[in-house]
Amino acid sequence: MKQAVMFGAGNIGRGFIGGLLAQSGYEIVFADVNQAMLDALNETKGYTIFVCDTVCSEQTVEHVSALHSADSALVDAIADAELVGTAVGLGILPRVAPTIAKAIAKRQELAMTSNLNVIACENAIRASSQLKASVYEHLSADQKAYADQYIGFPDCAVDRIVPPVTNERMVDVSVEAFYEWSVEQSAFAGEVPTVEGMHLVDDLMAYIERKLFTLNTGHAVTAYLGSIKGYETLQESFKDPAINAFVRDTMAESGAGLVQKHGFDPAAHAAYIEKIAARFQNDYLVDVVDRVGRSPKRKLASTDRLVSPLMTAKGFGLPYQHLVVGIGAALCYTNGEDPESVEVQETLATQGFMAGVSTLTGIEDAGLLNEIYSAYLALKTLS
């Protein structure tokens, strides 16, 4: 069987990419640091994906094994693989890079001329390219030349809502029916592997931004406004009429910038927003505000789902007030169990609001910082 290694046996690793790889005939080696999950996967050697939507169905995934991320056997597994995926979170990519680098070095030692493609399935702009930069930090000039020839790092956009759901067996996972995995065709090394459900595209940036700056923008604003109002689930928050209308307007605001930037058809983009709004209302798959709002420092970064669409809209002279409020809401978010939430609040407290927001978002325009401050103060009175 063809072999794939998947870093991250979490929700997306098992519930999305693992499912596509399995249905395409791959044997999957999951690499994770969660020992309980590793043990469970090695015992069951597979799992079930419950597709929870108006119509429910199941997918059985077989031919699965698992290794700890620090296990040296992982180097051999990657050396034998055709595909490597990650779904670990953007901040973890530098931690998995050394192992991928060792496997590339091993492939070179063995004079292997088969291709390996490494795809980082993270919510970020060009995550595979970011991973490649980390991997290359661990390679010599000679190894880099080998990697340039035989190893690909195609970027992708990954879309399927997979919340943490407690199933009877911890290996099983619950997902929505919708999925879209758009991968940059031209960036593959060698022949493109056949993965049923992988959508090969040429204009990847348009796909990444369409997804990250529509679904994830709306999702984040739903979570942060919901948190201010004391909602625990995304569904409760999105059913609040004021939040619902606000989030739709925020996605439309971001969308107007995307239409200008990427030349999207406005009607098709409006339909895309409506489809996302319907996905947020999926009562068959309850999601939580703290998952969607997690890692607010990452979400407040200049390249991410709040600030980037704001700057795009502003740059085109389009309205951006909803996005300003979304940033204000993110700055209000507190969750003592989320290290990034703690760090955001510490940054604001130690640097002062304006300097702190500037550090977090990269925004230097004093007028814009003042607008964010006003939105933040108004939201603070509600929390």
Ligand X SMILES: NC(=O)c1ccc[n+]([C@@H]2O[C@H](COP(=O)([O-])OP(=O)(O)OC[C@H]3O[C@@H](n4cnc5c(N)ncnc54)[C@H](O)[C@@H]3O)[C@@H](O)[C@H]2O)c1
Ligand Y SMILES: O=P(O)(O)OC[C@@H](O)[C@@H](O)[C@H](O)[C@H](O)CO
- Minimum Å distance from CB 249 to ligand X? 23
Please, which residue, 159 or 371, has the CB nearer to ligand X?
A: 159
CB atoms within 10 A of CB 67: 19
Strands of 47-51's sheet in order across: 57-61, 47-51, 173-175
CB of 165 to ligand Y, least distance (A): 13
Other residues' Cβ atoms within 10 Å of the Cβ of residue 208:
22
Rounded to whole angstroms, the Cα distance separating 75 from 25 reads: 22
Question: Which residues have CB under 8 Å from 44's CB, separation 6+?
Answer: 64, 169, 171
Beta-bridge mates of residue 117: 83, 152
Is 13 or 296 the residue whose CB approaches ligand X more closely? 13
Q: How far apart are CA 162 and CA 11, in angstroms?
A: 6
Map the footprint of ligand X across residues 50-89, applying CB under 6 A. 69, 87-89
Q: Pick the stretch among 47-55, 133-141, 153-161, 335-343 that binds ligand Y (CB under 6 A).
A: 153-161
Which residues lie below 8 Å from residue 367, measured CB to CB, with a gap of 6+?
none
Q: Is 224 within 8 Å of 330 (Cβ atoms)?
A: yes
Candidate segments 73-81, 107-115, 120-128, 327-335, binder of ligand X by CB under 6 A: 120-128
Q: Which of 80, 58, 68 is closest to 37 using CA atoms?
A: 68
206 vs 121, 201, 209, 269, CA distance in Å? 16, 10, 5, 12
**296 or 356: CB nearest ligand X:** 296
| Whole-number Å distance between alpha carbons of 164 and 156 | 23
CB of 233 to ligand X, least distance (A): 14
Contacted entry of ligand Y, ligand X, none for residue 295, CB cut-off 5 to 8 Å set by kind: ligand Y
User: Minimum CB separation from ligand X for residue 7, in Å?
Assistant: 5
Question: Which residues have a Cβ under 8 Å from the Cβ of 134 and sit 6 or more positions away?
Answer: 93, 94, 97
CB of 11 to ligand Y, least distance (A): 8
Q: How far apart are CA 303 and CA 130, in angstroms?
A: 13
Shortest Å distance, C-beta 159 to ligand Y? 4
Among 102, 210, 294, 322, binds ligand Y (CB under 6 A): 294
Element (H, E) at 248: helix 241-262
The smaller minimum CB distance to ligand X, of residues 92 and 318, is found at 92
Near ligand X in 129-188, by CB under 6 A: 158, 160-162
Mark 155-194 with x for binding to ligand Y (rule: CB under 6 A) and - for no binding.
Answer: ----xxx---------------------------------
> Which of ligand Y, ligand X, none does 216 bind, CB closer than 5 to 8 A by kind?
ligand Y
What is the Cα–Cα distance from 34 to 226, expressed in whole angstroms? Answer: 30
Closer CB to ligand X, residue 121 or residue 325?
121
Residue 59's binding partner among ligand X, ligand Y, none (Cβ under 5 to 8 angstroms by kind) is none
d(CA 347, CA 353): 8
User: For ligand X, which is the closer residue by CB, 87 or 273?
Assistant: 87
> Do 100 and 78 contact (CB within 8 A), yes or no?
yes
Q: Which of 4, 7, 85, 108 binds ligand X (CB under 6 A)?
A: 7
**Contact status: 292 vs ligand Y (CB under 6 A):** yes
Please, what is the minimum distance in Å from the beta carbon of residue 333 to ligand Y?
12
3-state secondary structure of 41: helix
2, 63, 95, 239: which one contacts ligand X (CB under 6 A)?
A: 95
Per CB under 6 A, residues contacting ligand Y are 123, 159-161, 215-216, 219, 292, 294-295
Per CB under 6 A, residues contacting ligand X are 7-13, 31-34, 69, 87-90, 92, 95-96, 121-123, 158, 160-162
